[in-house]
Every structure is written in C-alpha cells, then in structure tokens.
Chains A and B, each alone.
Chain A
C-alpha cells in the first residue's frame, strides 16, 4: 500500500497542512494507483453529495425568521388558546390605554367592522386610529420561564365580523 494513501481524502478535502499538500499533489501526479483512488473517492463523494442535496428538497418558502415575525398569527393563536382554555375574567385584565409601564408582552386589539347589509360598503372597513382595547398578558402566563427571549413583542390584530 502506498504511504500516501491515508492522506488522499484529506488532500481532496483541502484539509492537509500547507506544507504537506504540495507533496501529496506531486505524488498523485506520479502514482497511477493513487490517481485511480483519488478518482474513486471523488466520484463517490460527488454521488453522496448529489444524494444529500436531493434529500434536502424541503419546503422553505414559508419560512420566516421567528424573531422578525410581527407576531400577528402567533399572538392571535395564543389569545384564542387562552380565551378557550381558561376563564377570561380571571386571566385577562383590561387597561383602556392606561399610562402604566409597558408589559413584557402586549396584545393590541383593533376593531374591523364589515357592513354586509350594504353591498357598496361590503369591503370597506372601519379601523380605529388607535387601539381600542389593549390586553396585557405577562409572558410568564403563556410560556415557560426563559422560553421567550427578552424584548419579544407580540401584536395581534383582532377582526370582528358581523
């Protein structure tokens, strides 16, 4: 067995030290066995890479970095879960635009009213300029301690339809 045979794959991967790589390269140019071996390693590596890349065909279009998410969907889902799972009177406290310090997590509700009776105005919405109701939910009530990094804000737009 050639003394260079144990360094061929590291050489292919450019993982050999700078002072060693030229020696291996020179040897591969001289040794037919090593050239053949390098060719085989390259081919099997390419085949493996092709399989690997093909296996990574996954749905990526819908992926959005979570920390950049506005939180509309997530917060709406959380509010829905809370409202369904627990008595809202006990858990929710309403602060009509109180000047109290901002909580760690804030959910703002805006009213969007659809007028179905009038076809002309069927698509018109009334949107309040300011949040009508502000629901303050402490993050600890929603997630286990430490699950939400500090500084995360969730904002929910709640639509009311008639």
Chain B
C-alpha cells in the first residue's frame, strides 16, 4: 500500500451553491466512504444513508462558513460518527463483511489448488483481523481507504505518531498470525 492520498483538488468554495462542484466531490469520496462504512458494520442501505447525511453535514458546515481544509478526514470522521450512531452492534465490525467475496473474485481463473490455498490464507487473515483491537482495525481500515497517517489521526482524534505506532503494531500482528 502506497499510502498516497486520493487526489482531492476540489474547489469547495462554491460547494453550497454549485451543484457540479458538490457532485464532483460526492463522486470522488462516495465509494471510499461507503466501503469504510460497510466495513464498520453498516448494511449497504445504512451506509448509503450515512454517506448522504455526511455530505449534508458538509453542506451545512461549509454554508455556515466552516473550514475547507482537511475535508476528506472531516467527512470520514462524520461518517464514522454516523456509523456509531446507527450501528448498535458497532463492535461486530469488519469480520462480518470479510465474507468470501474477496477471495472468490480474485480467484475466478485460478487452479483448484490455488483457490484452496488462497481461501485458507483468506480465512487466516479474517481470523487475524478479528483479534485486532478496535483502534488497530480502525487505523487499518482508514489506511486501506487511502488516508495518510495525519488524516487518520484527525478522524480518530489521535496523534500522527500514535497512528504510526498502531498501524505498525497491527500490520505486524496480521503478518505474524497469517504466517505469510
């Protein structure tokens, strides 16, 4: 994973008055936000509602003269709060959405032996993820969303150096438990 930020050079000054700017921003961040929310345990419909609500909040935020800096981490933070509010069983995160879809889609044309091996590896990863602490899973999810450590820190309300420590610990745990 490169850790590079998603390209987000969007003029936000006219967000609340120009539908095209708003739609561009929406298209840019909709899928990453949806993915993140689904991994937090929301259903597809709940995630779509939460994304809409997050963008409505952004609309209000900018209309009220709020800061246009760090919009991406701002949206992820709002979306995360939406997820916490909506999802009563918030802690059943990520494991539930780690179904076999990932393994199946990547192995459509693989040999049966390779499919079996990959499925075993996938299951090990799934079990390993479930053993991670909440903060570790949070950091890895946001890292997989393409957020930089600084942005992850803004979403979770922790220091960048703490994010680096947590990511390092989480990746090492996964590598050890998956025995890759």
Which residues of A are at the interface with B, using a C-beta cutoff of 8 A? 6, 9-10, 12-15, 37, 40-60, 62-63, 65-68, 146, 149-151
B122 to chain A, nearest CB (A): 7
Q: Which residues of A contact B35 (CB under 8 A)?
A: 52-53, 55-56, 58
**Assuming A15-B164, A55-B35, A149-B59, is B1 touching A46 (CB within 8 A)?**
yes
Residues A65 and B34 in contact in the complex (CB < 8 Å), given A44-B180, A57-B101: no
Residues of A within 8 A of B101 (CB): 54-55, 57
Residue of A at shortest CB range from B101?
A54
Having A56-B39, A66-B52, one finds 15 other A-B pairs with CB under 8 Å, namely A9-B172, A10-B164, A13-B143, A40-B180, A42-B1, A48-B125, A51-B122, A53-B102, A55-B35, A55-B101, A60-B48, A65-B26, A67-B59, A146-B60, A149-B56
Evaluate contact between B144 and A47: CB separation under 8 angstroms.
no
Min CB gap B157→A, angstroms: 19
- A-contacting residues, B115-152, CB 8 Å: 121-122, 125-126, 129, 140-141, 143-145, 148-149
Q: Contact between B149 and A15 (Cβ–Cβ < 8 Å)? A: yes
Shortest Cβ distance from residue A153 to the other chain B in the assembled complex, whole angstroms:
12
Q: Are B144 and A10 in contact (CB under 8 A)?
A: no
- Range of interface residues on chain B? 35 or more
Is B14 part of the contact surface with A, judged by Cβ < 8 Å?
A: no
Q: Is the CB of B39 within 8 A of A52?
A: yes
Residue from the list B19, B94, B140, B144 in contact with A68, Cβ < 8 A: B19
Taking CB atoms, residues of chain A closer than 8 Å to B164 are 9-10, 15
Greatest chain B CB density within 10 A among A60, A146, A150 is at A60
Residue B83 lies at the interface, judged by CB distance under 8 Å to chain A:
no
Which listed residue, B1, B31, B51, B98, touches A13 by the CB 8 Å rule? B1
A-contact bits for B48-60, CB 8 A (1 contact / 0 none): 1001100110011
Interface string of B6-35 (1 = CB under 8 A from A): 000000000010010011001000110011
Q: Which of B52, B168, B174 contacts A48 (CB 8 A)?
A: B174
Contacts A50-B102, A56-B39, A59-B48 known; A15 to B3 CB distance under 8 Å?
yes
Chain A residues near B97 (CB-CB < 8 A): 55
Cβ-defined contact, B48 with A48, below 8 A: no
Return chain B residues, CB-CB under 8 Å to A66. Answer: 52, 55-56
Which 9 residue pairs spanning A and B have beta carbons closest together? A56-B35, A54-B102, A13-B3, A55-B97, A58-B44, A52-B144, A51-B102, A40-B175, A44-B175
Q: Which residue of B lies closest to A46 (CB)?
A: B1
Contact across chains for A49 and B1 when beta carbons are under 8 A apart: yes
Of all chain B residues, which has the CB nearest A55? B97
Contact A67 B171 (CB under 8 A): no
Contacts of A41 in B (CB 8 A): 171-172, 175
* A–B pairs, 5, beta carbons within 8 Å: A10-B164, A40-B175, A52-B39, A55-B102, A58-B48
